[in-house]
Every structure is written in C-alpha cells, then in structure tokens.
Amino acid sequence: MIGVMGAGAFGTALAISLAGNGPVTLWARDKSHVAEMRATRDNARRLPGATLPVSLRVTAELGDLQHATTVLLAVPMQKLRTILAEHGAALAGKTLVACCKGVELDTQQGPVQVISEMVPEAMPAILTGPGFAHDIARGLPTAMTLACADALAGSALQDTLSTANLRLYRTTDTVGAELGGALKNVIAIACGAVMGAGLGESARAALMTRGYAEMQRMAQALGARPETLSGLSGFGDLALTCTSEQSRNTRLGHSIGRGEDFDPTVTVEGAATAHAVQIRARSMQIDMPITDVVCGLTKGQLRVEQAMDRLLSRPLKEEKC
C-alpha cells in the first residue's frame, strides 16, 4: 500500500493517479476536511471536480499508514520538519518521498536533507518536475523526475510510483532535483511580476534564460550534476511554472506586478525559498541577481520598475553560465 501525507491539491492528485494501480491511503490532519472528502468523494477545498476513486481511502489517523511501505510527503516545505518531528517515529523504516519544492528558510536545507536528518531510519527520495495537480488528477500525460541516492531503491520506487499517465525518470542526483524544483519557483515570481507589470514576453524570456543560469550556478556549486538541471526537474519545471497562471508562484508575481494584494492563505513556496537561497548564495559568494530582486519584491522593498532597472544596469558581460 502507498500512503500520501497531505491532502492539498498536489497530494490529492498524486493519490488519485496512484489509486489506479492499487490501494492508496490519503492522510489529512483536519478531521472535518476528511469527513467532507469521505461524504462527497471530492476534495472541494483543494482540488474541486476531481473524483476520489474507490481504491483511495481518506483518513485523519496516521496509524492507517502503518502498512504503507512508501509514503509521499505532499506538505509545504516550510512545515516538513515540524510534521516529521511530530510523526517521525511512525514513519521510520519506510521510503519517504518528498513532494514539496523549496529550501528551508532556517537551515537552507532541501527536503531530502530534512528527511535524512529527522527520520534517519527512512529511505529518502524526492518527486519533482513539471506537473500541475489538475493535469495529473485528470489523467493527462505528465513526466516528472524521481530522485533517490540509492540506485536500486530508486529503480524499485520508479516502478511503484509510475502510473498510466505519470511517467517518471529516475536519477541518483537528489541535490540537483531538489534545487531545480526549488529555484525555478523563485524565477517564476520574477516572471510573473514582469507580466503583471506589462513589461512584455521578451522580458519574461530574458528572465527565464538568465534565471536558468542562476539555477545552474547554485546547483553546481552545491555538487549537482549539470544534466539534472537540464532535465525535467530543472529546465522542464522552469518552462511550465514561468509560463502558466496555474502556478501559485507566477500568480504571486502577477499580483506584485499589478500592485495588488495576494491571498495570504495560499502557500507560495518560492517566497521563503528566495530568502533562504539568498542567504546561502551570499555565504558562498554566488552571484544571484534575480533571486536578490525577488527578495526585495516579496519584502515590499522594491517596485518592479526598480527591480528591472537594477538588473538592466548590471555591467555588460559575455554570455556564460
């Protein structure tokens, strides 16, 4: 049996897709939310219109995951450590697959690192790449990256988590997979701000390209393989996230560009990640100008016009990573 912790849109979509292979248990902390999903067979709060199949069990009891050998952690990055601290004993010995994208603000660690630290008896992995929840839940074709440092465990996990519509490519480069998924959210905020401010698609293309160069610089400095960033978890996710308003990071950027308030109840991983990455980059003396302006934008310290002026006034240079 497979378990999924977190009944947000992405966790629910993965549970629906995986339930096509066999029994899946979806855990949510909120008992009233669980009662609603059981009664309606729909997650109207997070993924309306996606029917929960009969092979998908919804629960608020963590004990119902005791027989699951693989558990997907579809929880916000900034809450991952707290959830593992609370439930780590029950998850020991299992394969834990992070399904969140980000860098922890306090420690500058990625999700695989947090799992390894908090539940050392578990086998950590990460599922990341270009996949929107609504597409996965509707059975639309999606390809993503599955990263596990243990090659044999990763191969077995690839077979377990692949479905009729979800094609997984595996890698042992967990660092590259973590950073690709995290850093593209930062660039997506910048791209959304540009579009929200009406600065045009040419400006967005420039930010995507130079943002990809930032992603490569940071990832390679931390030991990631270049080909990982060129794959689904890096370039693929960047292309999807920066060009679609289905992305919460892009929508936040749009709101910033338009000078509008953004719903504070919506989790936007890229905002906290930008600040965590800025701290890490400065300590390692890595040049991350787009990340710097995203920090300024999300803190309200810069307007979009000021951010663009700062980027455009940088010294002219040869195009290199």
Task: Provide the annotated active-site residues.
Answer: 184
Q: Please provide residue 253's backbone torsions phi and psi, each rounded to the nearest 5 degrees.
A: -60, -45
Cβ–Cβ < 8 Å for 22, 68: no
Cβ–Cβ < 8 Å for 173, 234: no
Q: Dump the DSSP string for 67-125.
A: T-SEEEE-S-HHHHHHHHHHHHHHHTTSEEEE------TTT---HHHHHHHH-TTSEEE
- Closest Cα partner for 78 from 232, 174, 185, 207? 185
> Tokens 């060129």 correspond to what residue?
230
Query: Tokens at residue 14, please?
Result: 């993965």
> What does DSSP assign to residue 236?
I
Q: Please provide residue 125's backbone torsions phi and psi, each rounded to the nearest 5 degrees.
A: -155, 175
Cβ–Cβ < 8 Å for 242, 191: yes
> What does DSSP assign to residue 186?
H
Measured distance CA(137)–CA(17) in Å, rounded: 6
* CA distances from residue 235 to 45, 246, 278 in whole angstroms, order as listed: 31, 18, 21
> What does DSSP assign to residue 130?
S
**Helices 174-196 & 248-258 angle (0-180, nearest 10):** 30
